[in-house]
Amino acid sequence: MVGAVSGSGWINESLFVDWLHHFISYAKPSKVDSILLILNNHESHISLDAFSLCKEHGIIMLTLPPHTSHKLQPLDLTYFGPIKTAYNQECENHMADRFGQPITQYDIVEMFTNSFNRCSNLENAASGFRSAGIYPLRPIEFDSIQPYISQNTPQATINPTQNIHKNTQPPDNQVTDFHQISDAHNHADITQVHSLEDLGVQASDTGSVNLQSDDTRTHAVSLSEIVELPIIRPKITKRKIRKKKSTILTSTLIKDQLEEKENRTRAKAEEIKKANEKNAKKRISNKKNGVQ
């Protein structure tokens, strides 16, 4: 386990390289005895420094397909659940021993270390790889996973199983009796409606409702004709997310992409530097000439 911090609170490319050094010191990989390192598609794992370090020590980095970590990532399957339970127990013990004292950032390291040591063992690690089907190799079935839908949700459709028979003629007898009554709480005026028999309404066992009328001509009315259905508009995202897939991060293709990205970053930084120097010289020249 490596303890480190970042400005955003999330892992970044620099911290991942630090973790790689820690991993290398324990796993002892080499070009003769290479190691397969399976990761998710987080952007912190993709950098030129990480690529060079892995190539130097014989590490093959393979990323999982998107939206499959709950099925294929060993930590998600057998480790994160127990360590979360253990950490919650540490929090409860801490609050019981120090009644009225909040948990601060100075307490978290000790509490997490205790839960980490309790859950970190070879059996849990091996069980995670077995559950994911990585080792021993066992293909995982994804039949139960529904297609991932985040945009362009279709408008909901309603297939009513009950029909409402609407008549065109009002009933002969009196339907409702309107009078005002006083409510004990808000003294509001409400409308009192008599029973279904008084209204001339008959309910069948099938759930249909019939309104009695002299005119026997009826027609079915669907729910969509009565209720205005909401229109679900597609979610608009300003940032375009690049589609990802399972990739070997230590391949030559990835190296070329990382080098091209690094060259663009350096060229942009050089342009900004030259522009700043030019503006600085211009300000100095204007100051000497007395131009504000």
**133 and 22, same domain (yes or no):** yes
Give the residue numbers spanning the domain of 192.
161-221
Check whether residue 25 and residue 115 sit in a common domain: yes
Could you give phi then psi for residue 54, rounded to 5 degrees?
-70, -40
Does residue 82 lie within any of the structural domains?
Answer: yes
- Are residues 119 and 199 located together in one domain of the fold? no
145 lies in a domain?
no
* Cβ contact 155:229 at 8 Å: yes
Instruction: State the pLDDT at residue 142.
Output: 63
Rounded to the nearest 5 degrees, what angle is found at the Cα of 16, between the Cα atoms of 256 and 13?
55
Confirm whether 86 is domain-assigned.
Answer: yes
Q: Is 274 a member of any domain? A: no
Q: Is the pLDDT of residue 40 over 50?
A: yes
Same domain? 99 vs 67: yes
pLDDT of residue 182: 44
Please check whether residue 280 lies inside any domain of the structure: no
Task: Write out pLDDT tens, residues 49-75.
Answer: 999 999 999 999 999 988 888 889 999
In a domain, 210, yes or no: yes
Percent of the chain, pLDDT > 90? 39
Give pLDDT tens digits for 14-28.
999 999 999 999 999
* pLDDT bucket at 141, cuts 50 / 70 / 90: low
Q: Does residue 104 share a domain with residue 20? A: yes
Number of domains in the chain: 2
pTM of this prediction? 0.59
- Whether 212 is in a domain gets the answer yes
Phi then psi for residue 174, to 5 deg, are: -70, 135
pLDDT reported for residue 285? 79
